[in-house]
Structure 1
Amino acid sequence: MKLDAPVTGGPCWAELGTPDLAAARRFYTRLFGWRPETDPRREAGGRTIARLGDAAVAALTPLHRPSQPVAWHVSFAVADADTTGREVTAAGGVLLAGPADVSDAGRLAVAEDPTGAVFQVWQAGTFPGAGLFNAPGSLGWVELLTRGPERAAAFYTGVFGWSAGGSRPYTRWSVGGADFGGMVAMDEKFPHEVPAHWLPYFAVRDVEDAAAVATRAGGTVLMEPVSVPDGPRIAVLRDPQGAMFGVHRADGWT
């Protein structure tokens, strides 16, 4: 993506909710070379910040309730989480949690868009979000998969001020003229039970190698490596606990 730091309206963080933090740490460290730092406090429940060098790039967190799906969640930076929460509901979305303070790090809300995709909004305090984008092992693109692309486009452009370019089946999102993600219109090829969702893509040096490493580590290749027209080489993977995510060749979307 053409963002190299968190900006208002843009993606700023990716966070995994998983039932097995130890297994997730092993899998993603092997795949991306992350250095996991686990919060030792009991109340943190094992919450882990993944780093590349000194830069925080993602979080691995325990599931907060039995019904919570195993999934990656994308956060978008906002100036005021409470104001954005009101805009979400006014535009037809639903607030699922918050806004609530996360110590002095910031203020978080979890929301669902009118087509059923869950996302997070983050008002930065001491923590602005990821310290690195687009480099191997870090967030490089985010993608919305939805069966209601027109409603989704109206919602996100209204709430976050994004621009929606391109055309079906693929729309590109941008903020301030900088592309950061896209939207796929889900058709009959997608199983009915797969809901609308946000999919983070992490940059890698070699997509085929990443798919092979993920498989050896117990993951699954859901979409084999393929070259995107006017874009990078990508693949979609699933970790051993069931969370889906994408990988793309580093710098392919910049």
Structure 2
Amino acid sequence: MGRIIHVELTATDTARAAAFYAEAFGWKTESSPFVDEYLVATTGAGEGIDGAIMARAYQEQATIAWLQVDDLDATLTAVREAGGSVAGEVQEIPGQGRVVYVRDPEGTLVGLRGQ
């Protein structure tokens, strides 16, 4: 439980950032059908994870790791009990599951995806 499954990179200019990652690392991006200025990034074949480039207007933290959890509600309880906090509303993404951001006691933002 809690395995990193996705990473978001924030940018003030998502197109410029996408062009950089495409040229420097060969990433391919496409617009998300769910969120404006959110580019889903395919980072390559083999082991590793894919990610996204999103507008910094949504979240200011430069990089956000996403964790897969078995039970989102139980994990949110555990986050609070461990001194963290929930940073937003739980949302449903069709075909993906329920998602929400949380903050650890140091203020670092982490995304959670679960059922």
Q: TM-score range by the shorter chain?
A: 0.7 to 0.9
In the TM superposition, what are the counterparts of 1:185-200 in structure 2 within 5 Å? none
Separation in 2, partners of 1:64, 1:98: 17
SS at match of 2:87: strand
Distance 1:91 1:100 in 2: 22
Greater alpha carbon shift after TM alignment, 115-124 vs 29-38: 115-124
Instruction: Give 1:38 deviation, angstroms.
Output: 1.9
What SS does the aligned partner of 1:87 have?
helix
Consecutive unaligned residues in structure 2, runs of 5 or more: none
| 1:104 pairs with one of 95, 98, 111 | 95
Partner of 1:86 in structure 2? 77
Whichever residue aligns with residue 78 of structure 1, its letter is V
Residue 97 of structure 1: SS of its match in structure 2? coil
Once the 2 structures are TM-superposed, how far is the Cα of residue 70 of structure 1 from its aligned partner? Answer: 4.8
RMSD: 2.3
What's the counterpart of residue 23 of structure 1?
A: 16
For 2:101, the aligned partner's letter is: V
Q: How many residues align?
A: 113
- Per-residue deviation, 1:112: 0.9
Q: CA deviation at 1:105?
A: 1.5
Aligned partners of 2:111, 2:71: CA distance in 1, in Å? 13
Unaligned runs of 5+ in 1: 1-7, 125-254
Distance 1:70 1:115, change over 3 A: closer
User: TM-score scaled to structure 2, two decimals?
Assistant: 0.83
Q: Does 1:35 align with 2:28?
A: yes
Alpha-carbon distance change, 56 to 50 in structure 1, aligned in 2, over 3 angstroms: farther
- Distance in structure 1 (CA, Å) of the matches to 2:110 and 2:31: 24
- Larger Rg belongs to: 1
Contact 2:5 2:49 in 1 (8 A): no
- Percent sequence identity over aligned pairs: 26
1:47 maps to which residue?
38
Q: TM-score, normalised by structure 1?
A: 0.40
1:64 is displaced (CA, Å) by: 4.4
Q: Compared with structure 1, are the counterparts of its residues 22 and 70 closer, same or farther at alpha carbon in structure 2 (3 Å cutoff)?
A: farther
**Residues 12, 57 of structure 2: 8 Å contact kept:** no
Kindly provide the amino acid, as one letter, of the partner of residue 18 in structure 2.
R
CA apart distance, 1:118: 1.6
Distance, in Å, in 2 between the alignment partners of 1:114 and 1:80 is: 21
Cα distance in 2 for partners of 1:99, 1:15 equals 17
